[in-house]
Amino acid sequence: MNSDKLLADNDTEHQHAQQGHAADHSAEAHGEQGSESVPPDKVFDHLLGELGDHYTLTLFNYRIAELPVILVDQGSLHVYPNHTAMEHAGLYTMAHHKPVRVADHERPSLDFSVTNFVVFQWVGMLILLLAFISVKNKYKKNPNRAPRGLQNAVEVFVVYVRDNIVRPNVGSDRITRQLLPYFLSLFFFILVLNVLGLIPGGHSATGAIGVTAGLAITAFFIINITAIKEAGIGAWFHHLLGGAPWWLAPIMVPIEIIGLFAKPFALAVRLFANMTAGHIVLVALIGLIFFFQTPFVAAVSTPFSIFIYALETLVVFLQAYIFTMLTAVFVGLALGDHAHDDHEHHAVMIEHV
């Protein structure tokens, strides 16, 4: 009789333990719903975790939608409607907000999942598409009327990027006209993503190294393809000498090759670090209020938070400018004297006329 009672008690405790573990796992997986308060000693961990990427679309502490999980692993494609369905399938589970194999807790080979940052990139693309379609229609409808409103704002940025960023650094009117669509897309895309990160509850996709690395890779191809196209493959290889005699090639060529990759790497890290650092400082200042829960800390932390937020507003525009300007500078350096060939030819033609 006592043994039966003991077994029943053990079963009850085991069930309670399983229920508690499930509740903890659910709270970890869906903590973004904000249904439970966060303990003061976990405030910073919670806030810093919210800065990262997620497999759910979140706004403030509310879960808007669970996003598809797309994994390529061990030669197979695995597609799930959300991370909950992925865990129910039994092959993968979530660890530190990332999918891992249940068998060995290793990450899958490739992760093409739609994440929170991906959605905000789509939102940024949609905003730019609608804005430029609206501006284009206004120009077509009234081509001779002075620009107003959004049309005027877009024109100011376009003219500034062309005349103050691209043209002075590239050094060629013809190449400027060819590359201007790329530089405008680069500038406006970074700017819109940065601004979305300033909206309360929003997320800055430029705070992900994968996003900034993608932008830097496109810059790498633009820089080198333009140099090869304009100067020729022979001049591009000769540029690897850095102007030094040919017998210094064993030293100069490796250094120049490292420089080719160091430039886009610096672009990616600079944008990522600046956007992430500002958000971390802002989160830390706000987190102090919830950690100490005293009026004095709130009175001190709030003005500093407002100041950092205003500084972040400046950084939003500054980082879009710096990324675009440095890319134009690198294009001009890669072109060298070839960037001025068309300008000199144009001047000679004017003199003959």
pLDDT score of 223: 93
Q: How many residues make up the chain in this entry?
A: 353
Distance CA 40, CA 89 (A): 35
Distance (Å, whole) CA 38 – CA 42: 6
Alpha-carbon separation of residue 305 from 46, 297, 298 (angstroms): 18, 12, 10
Res 51: pLDDT: 66
In the numeric block, the tokens 């284009």 are attached to: 136
Residue 109, CA atoms < 13 Å, CB-side half-sphere: 7
Predicted pLDDT of residue 17? 41
CA distance 108 to 72: 7
- List the one residue out of 34, 53, 42 whose CA is nearest residue 197: 53
Per-residue pLDDT of the chain (353 residues; tens, 9 = 90+): 444 444 344 444 444 444 444 434 444 444 444 444 556 556 556 566 666 777 888 776 677 888 999 999 988 899 999 988 999 998 999 887 789 999 888 899 898 999 889 999 999 999 999 999 999 998 888 888 888 888 999 999 999 999 999 999 998 899 999 999 999 999 999 999 999 988 887 888 998 899 999 999 999 999 999 989 888 887 788 777 766 777 777 888 888 888 889 999 999 999 999 988 888 888 888 878 877 888 888 898 989 989 988 999 999 999 999 999 999 999 998 887 666 555 444 443 333 33
Contact call for residues 66 and 87 (beta carbons, < 8 A): no
User: pLDDT value at position 39?
Assistant: 66
Q: What is the pLDDT of residue 268?
A: 94
| pTM greater than 0.85 | no
Question: Tell me, what's the pLDDT at 338?
Answer: 62
Asked if residues 161 and 323 have their Cβ atoms less than 8 Å apart, the reply is no
Sign of the CA dihedral running 258, 259, 264, 265: positive
Q: CA torsion sign, 275 to 276 to 279 to 285?
A: negative
